[in-house]
Amino acid sequence: MRTIGLIGGMSWESTAQYYRLLNELTRERLGGLHSAKCVLYSVDFAEIERLQAAGRWAEAGEVLAGAARALAAAGADLLLICTNTMHKVADQVAAAVDVPLLHLADTTAEAVRAAGLGRVGLLGTAFTMEQDFYRGRLAGHGLEVLVPDAPGRALVHRVIYQELCLGVVREESRAAYREVIAGLVARGAEGVVLGCTEIELLVGPADSPVPLFPTTALHARAAVDAALTADDAALADDDAALADG
């Protein structure tokens, strides 16, 4: 298995989900006691959030680029930025290393297209919902992207930073997100992209009348697919045969 490099900590709540999913999916694919080969560089999110709020994206990008260089030096064969918002600096991070970067928006768009959908709602931080770095990437795959109205965007953003990033999950916020999702569906959304890695801590399929696209889970699955080779599948078959005696 190739080694997966994780640029995490934004927030660590969702990075923990990445780690869990990568290992569960690897065990699912290979069986037995197999787990994911991965290395993690976890940044201080308070530092990154200050740079985001100040619009100092190039500086934030250099922090992540430094993390990418450290992961490459540690033996990572592919990289994940474990946050949707910081894909704003994905090109800067990718340019810092020779290791391929698996772009979260691309894996999400591929899942939406595979489901046969063309118009999706997008929930995320204000940066993700309002700026073009993410919406434009989805649109580049032929998708029409809808975002909530201004009050809805403010609510979604506030819950992410003031609750979910701190590990706080409130039923009132789940109900509010359901209303935002219903509004997107009423405007024609055929599915909804959970475009912030923390949102999956709050809402799931039961909270939406249309399919949800959980970006953390999709990104993790794509990473495991990219990390495994035909030889890995053969190893799993050999292990199964040994287990059977």
79-132 pLDDT, tens digit per residue, is: 999 999 999 999 999 999 999 999 999 999 999 999 999 999 999 999 999 999
Q: Given this model, what pLDDT does residue 8 score?
A: 97
Q: Given this model, what pLDDT does residue 195 score?
A: 94
Active-site annotation, residues: 83, 196
Model pTM score: 0.89
231 has a pLDDT exceeding 80: no
236: pLDDT confidence band, cut at 50, 70 and 90? low
% of the chain residues with pLDDT over 90: 92
Beta carbons of 194 and 156 less than 8 angstroms apart: no
Q: Given this model, what pLDDT does residue 179 score?
A: 97
Q: Given this model, what pLDDT does residue 237 score?
A: 54
Dihedral in degrees, nearest 10, Cα atoms 232, 28, 221, 217: -160
Beta carbons of 82 and 20 less than 8 angstroms apart: no
Mean predicted lDDT score pLDDT of the chain: 93
> Is the C-alpha dihedral spanning 193, 199, 203, 207 positive or negative?
negative
229: pLDDT confidence band, cut at 50, 70 and 90? confident
List residues bridging with 123 in a β-sheet. Answer: 194
172-201 pLDDT, tens digit per residue, is: 999 999 999 999 999 999 999 999 999 999
242: pLDDT confidence band, cut at 50, 70 and 90? very low
